Every structure is written in C-alpha cells, then in structure tokens.
A and B are shown apart, each in its own frame.
Chain A
C-alpha cells in the first residue's frame, strides 16, 4: 500500500519544528508501524535526506521506549497497543498519517519524535520503592499475600512507563503512571509501611516536574497500551487523603 506521512521534524530543543511530508510506498500490511518508518528512513538516506529519529528498542510492546502520537492519538489509539505493535494492516491504502512526538510540558522534545521523559524517573526516585536492603530478607512465603491482592498489585505493576497517559491527557497529567506504583505498593504487606510518605513524595514530585493535575477525562486509561485502570487514581486519592488527614 502507498501512504503519505506528515512527520514532525525538529532539529533540537530550541528549534521550532514543523511537519514535513514524505511518501511511504509499497508498504506491506504485515509490517509494524516502526518497520514502515525504517523503510521510509532507508529511502530518505538513499535520496540524501536526513532520516527521522524516533525512540524504540524492544519492539515487542514491553520496554516502553516507543512514543509517538499518530493521527492525534498516543500510540495510534488502538486498544492496548504500543506503536511498535501497531501494524500497517490497520491503515488503508492512500491514508495520510500524521506522526508527532508526545506533547507535554514535562516532556521537552529532544529531536524529531524523541522526547525527554526523565521526569518519570524523577517521580519514581521520590518514593516508588520499598526501602529494603539487599540481603537479610525473610523467606518469600513468610508473608502470604492473598491472590486477589497479588492480582491487584500485578494489574498496577503492568505499567511500562511509556508516558502515553501523559500524552493522551489534556492536562498532561502523570497521575495514572504515579498511581499505578502507589497502588501496587500500598496494598502489599511489604510496601504498606511507607505508604504515607510514598504517596506524598511522589505526588509532590509529580507537581514539581510540571505535570498537570487530574480532572477525570480518563484519556489516560484510553491511551494506555497496558490498559492500566483509572481505579488506581481513585486509590491514589484515597491514599493521599489518608496520608494528609491522619
């Protein structure tokens, strides 16, 4: 199939950036979206043009590196799908496709489709852990964890940290991302003891990094390639209230 791409090109953080148009010809419907971009890049190089840079690594939807806004939707808008798992069969011959980076104040563009997501790491560093030492740990079965609790924690832990929730949110909020970690650790016996400090520190970091607040648009859940539920945001709010009130 033949497509027309409108791709965001920006040479660096200070450049204003603009959309540029490239043809993508002879694309197989079995290609992934990134394989299609590889193909376009090979053609750009052959014709003496600068290839498009984009973040990607595992190409199996788990590392969370790929990050593109396609036709206005984070990861292309397909249910539970990262860009690298999006396949060309979901487009039609002759389609025009707009490809842009994540858009959020907390994610400055580095170049073309690559943004700086350091802010997400900073939120984790503020408290997204259990303060246990290496070694000197009781047996893994010392504290039984009921299956419903373990499953709940696992549902939250599935977040791959890609930032689609931020890109999808009209407020550029990282609430879903933060809440997933807060909720996972708050329900586990290992993480309970630091729950109050954790939720306070992580939400403080969230604000300090320039992310917006949550006003219940639920675009985050819709954008999330792992289907992380907004129920974790409710959990975060409860945990936050517990921390500040008590």
Chain B
C-alpha cells in the first residue's frame, strides 16, 4: 500500500498556517465532553496533556515513573534549537528547516520539518514565560551556542540541564492543570495494551505498578508520547525503564512502525567498565565545541598515560578527516570515526573501547574558569563515574545508542494509520529522517506537545461524537483478559534464566550485528539469532513473584518480550534498506573513503511495517518522499 502523509500542498512557508485554517475546530463548550488519553509525560506528553487540559478537554495522563517530572527528556543536556537568529549570524526558519532535512539525510517529510522550524521560536517564548532559567548574557538577553554540526548559534541552553529545565516547565504547566482538575494524572501506571474498536483507537489497558491491577481506560483519542526504543540494544544511554512497549502494543494492534532501523549512536558517552553495566552515561556533545577528539597514532601508545603521548603521536582524526567541521562533525560520522579508531586497535581505556576528548587546548585558550562555566556539571559527572579529572587528563569517550529516529508512522496531523491514535515526540518517526541533529529532540517534543497536537487533535475530534465507546464495550474486557493471560504466561514459565540475561543476550546481537555498521551477513545472522532467543525466553525465563504486587521483574519481562518481537522487524527494515543514510550505515553502501552512500532513486521513501505476528514476515508499506524545496545533495562534511 502507498501511504498518504496528508501533507498540505502549496508554498512550504504557508503550509502550516493554511492547514491550521483548513482544520475543523471543536466548539469551546464541547471540548469538555471529549476525553483524551495521553500516555507518557516527557516533553511531548507533558506539554500535550497540559495544553489540551488548558483548552478544556478532559485529559487523563499516564506515566510509569512515580512522578510526571521524571521522564527521560530530563537527561538531555545540551540544548534546544530555535530559529530566532538572535546572534544575527544568518539563521532563519528556512535555514533550520534546511539543516534538519539535510541532517536527516533527506529521509523526512518537508512539510513536517518546516512546521517544526516555524514553531521552534514559539517554544522558546513559551519556556521563558514558564520561568525556565535559560542562560543569559550580562545584558540579560538569551544566550546561544553553536551545537552539533550547526554553523549558526541557534541553541538555547540551561547549564548542562536543558532537558531537565524544559521538562520542569512542562511539568509545572501540567501541575497547574492537575490542580485545575482538567488533567487526571496516573503515575506508576504502565500502558500494556491499546484498545481498538472497529478500527478506531478508543482506549488503553494499563497495569498499576503498585497493586498489579489491570485496568482499562477509555478515551475519544489516545496520544502516545512514550519515547524511543534504543534499550533494545541493552547498552544505551536511555533510562532503565524506557521501552518500546507502548508503541509495540499499538503495532500489535495494527499501527505501522516506520523506519525502525534509523537509530542514533551518540558519540560522547562514558565507556563501559564491564558486562554488569547496561546504562551508559551520555555527556552532551556540546563538549565537542571545545574538546578535541584524538587517538594514539601507534598501538604501542594505547596503554600510556595520555600526557606521555607527544603531540606528533596523536591522531586528531576528526580534524584530519573533516577539516571544515572538525570536532563538530555530525553524530553518526563522529561515532563511526571513533569506532574505526578502536577497530584499528588504537582505542584507550578498559577493553580498549574509547578515544580521548581533550580540553588542554581550550583551557589554554579561554582558561579553566570558562570551561568550568560551560561544562562544569559534565566534568563533575565524568569524575564521579570514572574517578578521573578531565581538567587535568583528557576524557575517554565511546559511542552508545541514544535516540531512535524511527517510530510509529504518523501523517502530518501526527495521527497513525489507526484513526484516533496520535503519536508525539520520539515515539513517532516524523521529522528527523535518518539522523537527528543535536538539540532537535527537545524542540520536536515540545513542538508536538504545545503547538501541533492542540490543533490537529481538534481536526480529528470535530469529526467524532464524544463518548460513543466507553469501557463498557466488550473490547475492553477482552483487552484486560489478554493482558492477564500474558502476565500469567510469563509468571508460569519458571525457567532458569533471568530477564536481564535475555535482555543482555538480545542486546549483544543487536549491537554487534545491527549496530553502528550493518552488513547483509550480520543482519541475516541477527535474523537467525533473535527468534532463537525469543523462543528460549518463552520457555526458560524466570519471572519471580506474582502479578498482584509491585513486581519489577514482571515489568521488565513484559518490556523484554516486546523488544524480542520488535528487534526482528527492526532488523528486517535494516536488511531491506539497501543504502546507507544517516544513522543507518550498511557496509556494502559506502564510498571509497568510507562515507555513507544514499540511493535516492530506490529508497527515498518511508518504510512503514505492518506487524503480522511474531516470526511472521511483516508487510512493507511505502510513503514516497518528495522534495520540492530542497535539492537532494550528497552530504559532505569535509
């Protein structure tokens, strides 16, 4: 099937304004009759729940954390982009649009990206109004920095905690609505099924993580803002609770999963110290603004203290390979380059999986005080974890899975192929194409939540009668029974291996074979291994305790069982995409000097997969991508 993204036509700069006018509205007095469920309370979900509640909809919001302030948006350090052009350095909505399309390696929809760039400026205003303490200069104006491959300074930041501060802004708006009674908040509540009635999303089934109670909630629309899926790699920078579960439950009910193979590996993480560790700590890539990446030129030097390696024996590989971008080369390029140094046996630190990020030059130039002001908390974090002082000794860094550009397929209105099911933020696939630029995740989450969904959901709700289906409908009972059966099944296996062991095993396959560089043979190997692990999981997993209590083993078992199904579709997508683009690098498709080679003729489309059951071939639906406003160019950061 050819999918229709329902993008408005006409001049790109007018698409969103025209669309906003063309969409239907819901009468103010009717809004309270509509119930909207929002799952996930990170930047996208929190902003959406707050904004929809304020508009007058009857909102119920859900999160697995103990408070809506704790979603993993909180961990974003570096900043948020906007096309304000405050520094007068040549930025514009068009440039942010162009950079995002280009950064995404021409695999995103033009109109969606334009809208993102257009509303980016509203986001900054909104956050300032909420009291988000962005960095300011001495005159009191908002400060900007250049970030992750951008040649203009368009990134707004709040020390190294921009995600935390923006989420607290959204959380404060949400708290205000909870107090006002327009939003009912359900914490420690995990969505474990999507309820679909006659092909339309009408509710969700959740597990109360304290009592174990399985309960359904009905709504006239369901918004999933449940984040990304890179914990499928086991090793990742995501929070421990991040999973594909909510999105995957929707996929099991027929929602298409788009471009799962587009995942981003973050270049500046703290290397792993041993197998016991699944969580890797990311350090903002703003670190690369002043740090210089290098590896020893000679293998023999790898065990030496970095200070003992003379300048001429250091390979500043990013500056050498990409003279104009240097240490600010995009994430995928920087990540692969770091891995290449290690694959060449010139890595440093435990297991030789690390390269140096050196501040000596910057400290000499601007002084330790300035570096401390810019990155103080990151240096502190690094020291806590590694026991090393990065002011005195270069940091060690290594890439780790970090963000998923792929996600549930949505049209321009953020609605999936299941009517009534909207998907926001990282959970959808929409704006980052095959690769996301730094400081754009926060922008997308808040754009979707504050400035897109409040309009587009009205366009949908205006076409439905509120409350036609409630939890009295048999589909809800069926959903609860299905969840209960799944829970019982997991608890009754009583096998020999722990949930973590299976997750680690799956992650190893994904990282080795479906990670930063993928080949036909590695992907085929993964497609053999994943079903084997899944089969063993369902025969030999040991989930202790019962379903009717707080049971973290059971929670994890559910998430890992979903990863085991999802991983296969992910790998199939990577195998089918016979090109390299953005975060998807196929070793067969590269230039002589190791750069990604896109195939625009055959692959300029969104691959949306329809899940047909575990172990069955998913069906591919394509949405062709048209580029009327940008010229497809080969990305070059030389």
Contacts and interface: CB of A to CB of B under 8 A. Distances in A.
A18 to B, nearest CB: 18
A70 interface: no
A190 B131 contact: yes
A86 to B, nearest CB: 8
Interface stretch (A49-57, A228-236, A238-246): A49-57
A42 B241 CA distance: 18
A81 B469 CA distance: 49
B125 A65 contact: no
B131 A185 contact: yes
Contacts of B165: 154, 157
Interface string B49-73: 0110010000000000111111110
Nearest to B454: A134
A110 B209 CA distance: 11
Contact of A63 (B74, B132, B135, B176): B74
B54 A134 contact: yes
B133 A87 contact: no
A45 B126 contact: no
Given A28-B273, A114-B550, A45 B239 contact: no
B119 to A, nearest CB: 10
Contacts of A12: 549
A28 B84 CA distance: 49
Contacts of B282: 60
Contact of B142 (A42, A141, A154): A141
B89 to A, nearest CB: 16
A64 B240 contact: no
B626 interface: no
Contacts of B385: 32, 85, 87
Contacts of B138: 146-147
Nearest to B130: A130
A125 interface: yes
A158 B133 CA distance: 10
B68 A62 contact: no
Contacts of A61: 381, 384
A8 to B, nearest CB: 14
B70 A42 contact: no
A45 B131 contact: no
Contacts of A147: 136-138, 140
Interface in A118-138: 118, 120-121, 124-126, 128-135, 137-138
B69 A161 contact: yes
A46 B454 CA distance: 50
A45 B553 contact: yes
A69 B126 CA distance: 38
Contacts of B176: 125, 129, 131
A50 B551 CA distance: 10
Contacts of A196: none
Contacts of B54: 133-134
B310 to A, nearest CB: 29
A63 B553 contact: no
Contacts of B171: 124
A58 B67 contact: no
B451 interface: yes
B349 to A, nearest CB: 11
Contacts of A139: 125
A140 B552 CA distance: 43
B140 A121 contact: no
A119 to B, nearest CB: 11
A224 interface: no
Given A56-B240, A137-B125, A190-B131, A145 B140 contact: yes
Contact of B70 (A57, A89, A134, A185): A57
Chain B, interface size category, equals 35 or more
Chain A, interface size category, equals 35 or more
Nearest to B50: A134
A97 interface: no
Contacts of A50: 544-545
Contact of A144 (B139, B159, B279): B139
Contact of A38 (B134, B142, B500): B500
Contacts of B551: 53
B434 interface: no
Interface in A68-122: 80-81, 85, 87, 89, 110-111, 114, 116-118, 120-121
B140 A153 contact: no
Contacts of A59: 239-240, 279, 281
Interface in B150-202: 158-159, 161, 164-165, 168, 171-173, 175-176, 178-179, 185, 187
B122 interface: yes
A197 interface: no
Interface string B449-464: 0110010000000000
Nearest to A157: B133
B125 A150 contact: no
A194 to B, nearest CB: 10
Contacts of A114: 550
A214 interface: no
Interface of A: 11-12, 28, 30-32, 35, 38-39, 42, 45-46, 50-51, 53, 55-65, 80-81, 85, 87, 89, 110-111, 114, 116-118, 120-121, 124-126, 128-135, 137-141, 143-147, 149-151, 153-154, 157-158, 160-161, 184-185, 188, 190-191
24 contacts: A32-B277, A39-B276, A45-B542, A51-B552, A53-B552, A58-B74, A59-B281, A60-B279, A60-B282, A63-B72, A118-B66, A118-B187, A121-B68, A125-B178, A134-B173, A137-B126, A144-B141, A147-B137, A150-B140, A154-B135, A157-B165, A161-B70, A184-B131, A190-B128
Top 6 A-B pairs ranked by shortest CB distance? A144-B140, A129-B172, A30-B273, A154-B133, A153-B133, A140-B128
Given A59-B240, A117-B66, 14 more contacts: A45-B498, A50-B544, A58-B72, A58-B75, A60-B282, A63-B75, A89-B387, A121-B67, A129-B176, A137-B122, A137-B128, A143-B128, A151-B133, A190-B129
